[in-house]
Chains A and B, each alone.
Chain A
Amino acid sequence: MLSHLDRKLWRDLRRMKGQAFAVAMVMGCGLAMMIMARSLIFSLESTRREYYEANRFADVFVALKRAPNSLAARIKEIPGVATVQPGISVQVTLDLPTLDEPASGMVRSLPDFIPPELNRLFLRTGRWLSPGSRGEILVGEAFAEANHLLPGDTIAMLLNGRRQEFKIAGIVLSPELIFESRPGAALPDSRTYGSFWMPYKELATAFDLYGAFNYLSLALEPGGRERSVIAALDLLLTTYGGRGAYGRADHPSHIRVSDEIRVLETMSIGFPVVFLSVAAFMINAVLSRLLTLQREQIAIMKAFGFTNRQIVVHYLKFAFVIVAGGTALGGFGGVVLGHRLVMLYHHFFRFPELAFRADRTAFPLALLVCAGAATLGVFGAVRRAARIPPAEAMRPEPPANYRPAFVERTGIAHLLSHTFRIAVRNLERRPMQALFTITGLALATGILIVPNGFRDSVDHILDTQWDTIQRQDLSIGLVEPDSARVRHLLRHLPGVVTVEPTRATYARIGFGHQRRQLGIQGIAPNGLHNRVLNERDHLIQVPPDSLVVSEKLAQALGARVGDELRVEILDGKRPVRNVRLVGLAGDFTGLTAYMDLPSLNRLLGEGDIISGANFRVDGAHRAEFLRALKGIPKVSWVAVKDSLRENFRQTTAASIGLIQKIYLVFAIVVAFGVVYNNARISLAERARELATLRVIGFSRREVGAVLVTELVVLALIAVPFGLLLGTGFAKAIIRAVNTETVRLPLVLTASNYAFAIMVVAIASTVSALLVLRMLHHLDLVSALKAPE
């Protein structure tokens, strides 16, 4: 049975249900964010770990030119190596009847008769390759889904220049390709890029690699040291065209999942802390008001013999009921949002099964954090109230002390109306209440800046990356670097307006103790197609015999413009040179180094060689051009700008759209809740004053103006802070998102700021109007009786 004191608690809560709900909602937003983020981290981490374990994801990976299979045994002897899995990995183009342009992809080999020891595939549908079969292929799920391919369908592929038809045996997933994108691309484009697996013998034969391998993964022994294994491996593979081994931490798919987890970690701490602080203050304000109203009740309870502790506990219970409500709302919201985001992850990450797994430890933690925040918020007020001697508490509180507000003391007092003075003096008398209302509104304004900042940043990329930087219509890569003869062939394809050759090569670039493996792009001198811009979007001309690198690479290496970088080419004759860094590129994916094409060729020492080209094509002959391209055996991949751009736009739009909605809801809840709470408290505390104004002849509108003036003053202070806060949030999050794989520029537009202000203004206005309606019920007669 409820004690009488608890019954009082319920009735008090019922009377203040609007405010209790507003507080619980704000708290719920913070918790939802925290539970969502922590659960997503848990889902991603545990699913990835289980996937890796079940499918034996390797620890170290390396691509090379070609090495005999016998070398695998020597590699296995490197101390710390447990299992070695050599194989073949090649780039191919595909001819899909549903696609105008040639699609491209990567084909990996599978052992002919036994399942692979490492990086085992997961069969989604269909069957495995029959041992010793020919003409059969396994297709990665993302590509199959995007192109509506099913087991039993056939696809045409150009293998080393020979067009061959393959029958799809099964649709599979690989732990190496949780995140699968065209090398160097920011996002997956599953329609035009896919992964495939074939028996070793068939693939090796097609590429004249039988008895050899060009890709190797290995698993370490427990306690095996990755760094020393990588060093030994690199040494061993130098003569076989090794392109530098790397561990899981540098694996392109692994990195992207880890990056996402890191962003979630930032989100799981930052936002909840701010939301919960605002909620803690709101509880404090609500409870302080209750305590003021119940001053005499507290005195009577004490006069009857209740201890201070019992009284403190009674009022803390009030706070905890709100906390429990907030936790329930937050838990529900977190789980719902988590489910939505997991669905969104299916665009980016391919797991056998990625289900939302609620992080159960997040719930007690959420409750604890909230209860802590609430206790912190109310404990002082409750203890103060409990400490007043009963006789003193039975007397009404003395009239509040006021003084002219700061703005009046600046000498403009005579310009201010009386209602304005009432408003600003009240604000100054309750600086903490004002401060937290300002904080709440600023927070609401600030969090709206973040998703719209992302949107603008993506728009900026869409503009610069594909209009200013890449002026070509499409790019191709060749199976093998080729001589100038190919240029002639390419120039005479139907519909070509301009063509510019490119040369790409693998290199290890170092400065001091830091080094990174990446591609160097040779671009045509004074080229018009693929250009290099600095972070301010100004064109950089790459002078001969010098290097421009991604700004992020310079940062990672600790190098500055003017420094000499050590360039070790990992292809061909593997020359090693020092090249001067002359500029920093503001590119947004991967790490890249740019050189002028003749200089790069000089450095490589292989003569006038190209490995790809950029084209501008006459729109009228586009279909003809793409058809011709499908028939050129030397082409290993094709990237069509429009489809990349469209894919990027769609993929980001879906995720940014959802995040915008979430933040919009949170901002509205906070703005609405904070204003509602503030206005309700003002209305309750000053019912007598406002009723007096009504009695002496002020209309409802004029009395409402007193309350509204306070809110408007608070909002006017809050909004600029909110814009600053939002700018800070956006900077912090962009910094967290910006990695060596993907970088977003910080783009903050006036319309972003204007939208944030508008949403907060509307939410606050609606909230204030709701409270002002209560002025209708103001009891004029009772206000004239003795003060409460």
Chain B
Amino acid sequence: MFRVRGLTKVYGTGAAEVRALSGVDLDLYASELVVLLGPSGSGKTTLLNNLGGLDVPTAGELQYRGQDLTAIDEAALTRYRRDTVGFVFQFYNLIPSLTARENVGLITEIARDPMPAEEALDMVNLGGRLDHFPAQLSGGEQQRVAIARAIAKRPEVLLCDEPTGALDVRTGIVVLEAIQRANRELGTLTVIITHNAIMADMADRVIHLSDGRVQHLRVNEHRAPASSLNW
């Protein structure tokens, strides 16, 4: 689905220049679950932002289903995010003034073929907390609402940036189960960023990133269920 060649992203100029990505080559396929591993500053988030249409690369090739994402304008990028991409962030980024159901429902107002908010929340096992506001939910619950919000539009791509980064192990596993289930049941290409190597076991493929480059790529014969992970 994605074809990435020589992808480069440079922030700043002159002495303040930072090369976040320096020539990433990568292909991503439909329905697979990919874990992007790497230490802080390795360029994981920059890569994810570029894939998600939040940022544009400085150089290189970035195609989604044959469409060049580097050549389209702001409005087209918004449309791409709206129709194609689901995001899950480390800090959930829910709208505090909307309930769980409404946070998901917000997406169904703008998406082309959304599932009902209740169904999406059921998929993340939150069917019982539909009318709670974010302030009334635990961190794990908030993150599952965020996942429900991301999958409610039936996205073709689900991008997760450190989805368990702010959670304890037990809660983190519940969240990962939800992501895995969405990937399995909806056939969504899922990319998870983490610096937690243990999570690599649940992926189809594991991509190691370091200094803005792909260091190596590993294919897992068997995907481990999220519930079997422990760190």
Contact = CB atoms under 8 A, between A and B. Distances in A.
Nearest to A405: B97
B97 A425 contact: yes
Given A399-B135, A402-B135, A699-B78, A422 B91 contact: no
Contacts of B81: 695-697
6 contacts: A398-B135, A402-B133, A421-B102, A698-B82, A699-B75, A785-B91
Interface stretch (A120-128, A291-299, A685-693): A685-693
Contacts of B79: 697
B54 interface: yes
A694 interface: yes
Interface stretch (B29-37, B105-113, B121-129, B178-186): B105-113
A417 B98 CA distance: 11
Contact of B107 (A399, A697, A787): A697
Interface of B: 49, 52, 54-55, 75, 78-79, 81-83, 85-87, 89-91, 93-98, 102, 105-107, 109-111, 133-135, 149-150, 153, 161
B78 A692 contact: no
A771 to B, nearest CB: 19
A693 B95 contact: yes
Contacts of B54: 695, 780-781, 784
A492 interface: no
Interface residues of A, number: 32
A697 B135 contact: no
A402 B132 CA distance: 10
Given A400-B135, A780-B54, A781-B54, A689 B96 contact: yes
Contacts of B97: 400, 402, 421-422, 425-426, 429
Nearest to B102: A418
A399 B134 contact: yes
A415 interface: no
B9 to A, nearest CB: 11
Contacts of B150: 696
A3 interface: no
B96 A783 contact: no
B89 A694 contact: no
A786 interface: yes
Contacts of B83: 697
B224 to A, nearest CB: 28
B195 to A, nearest CB: 15
A401 interface: yes
Given A692-B95, A697-B78, 11 more contacts: A399-B96, A401-B133, A402-B96, A402-B133, A422-B95, A422-B98, A698-B78, A699-B78, A780-B54, A784-B87, A786-B91
A596 to B, nearest CB: 73
A779 to B, nearest CB: 10
A421 B55 CA distance: 30
Contacts of B89: 692, 784
Contacts of A787: 91
Contacts of A398: 135
A352 B86 CA distance: 80
A403 interface: yes
A355 B214 CA distance: 81
Interface in A698-737: 698-700, 702
Contacts of A692: 89, 93-95
A430 to B, nearest CB: 11
Nearest to B85: A697
Nearest to B155: A697
Given A696-B87, A697-B83, A784-B91, A418 B135 contact: no
A698 B105 CA distance: 13
A698 B83 CA distance: 10
Given A398-B135, A402-B135, A417 B49 contact: no
Contacts of B149: 696
A694 B55 contact: no
B93 A417 contact: no
A691 to B, nearest CB: 8
A402 B96 CA distance: 7
Contacts of A400: 96-97, 135
Nearest to B105: A418
B97 to A, nearest CB: 4
A429 B153 CA distance: 30
Interface in A375-434: 398-403, 417-418, 421-422, 425-426, 429
Given A692-B93, A785-B91, A697 B82 contact: yes
B109 A696 contact: no
Contacts of A780: 54-55
B133 A403 contact: yes
A616 B38 CA distance: 102
B129 to A, nearest CB: 15
A426 B97 CA distance: 7
A71 B227 CA distance: 120
Cβ-closest 10 pairs across A and B: A697-B82, A425-B97, A692-B93, A399-B135, A418-B106, A697-B81, A402-B97, A784-B89, A401-B135, A402-B133
A741 to B, nearest CB: 58
Contacts of A700: 78
A713 to B, nearest CB: 14
Contacts of A425: 97-98
B74 to A, nearest CB: 8
Nearest to B153: A697
Contacts of B49: 781
A299 B107 CA distance: 38
A745 B107 CA distance: 57
B98 A697 contact: no
B133 A421 contact: no
A698 B75 CA distance: 10
A176 B48 CA distance: 87
Contacts of B135: 398-402
B133 A784 contact: no
B109 A418 contact: yes
Contacts of A689: 93, 95-96
A215 B75 CA distance: 87
Nearest to A426: B97
A426 B79 CA distance: 27
A425 B54 CA distance: 28
Contacts of B90: 784, 786
Contacts of B106: 418, 693, 696
A552 to B, nearest CB: 56
Contacts of B78: 694, 697-700
A399 B92 CA distance: 12
A658 to B, nearest CB: 47
A689 B105 CA distance: 16
Nearest to B84: A697
B54 to A, nearest CB: 5
A695 B95 CA distance: 12
A694 B96 CA distance: 16
B230 to A, nearest CB: 26
Interface string A638-649: 000000000000
A781 B89 CA distance: 11
A426 B95 CA distance: 11
Nearest to A424: B97
Nearest to A425: B97
Nearest to A699: B78
A785 B46 CA distance: 12
B213 to A, nearest CB: 21
A403 B134 CA distance: 11
Contacts of A786: 90-91
Contacts of B93: 688-689, 692, 695, 783-784
B6 to A, nearest CB: 22
Interface in A665-696: 688-689, 692-696
B91 A417 contact: no
B98 A421 contact: yes
B12 to A, nearest CB: 14
Contacts of A784: 54, 87, 89-91, 93, 161
Nearest to A776: B74
Contacts of A783: 93
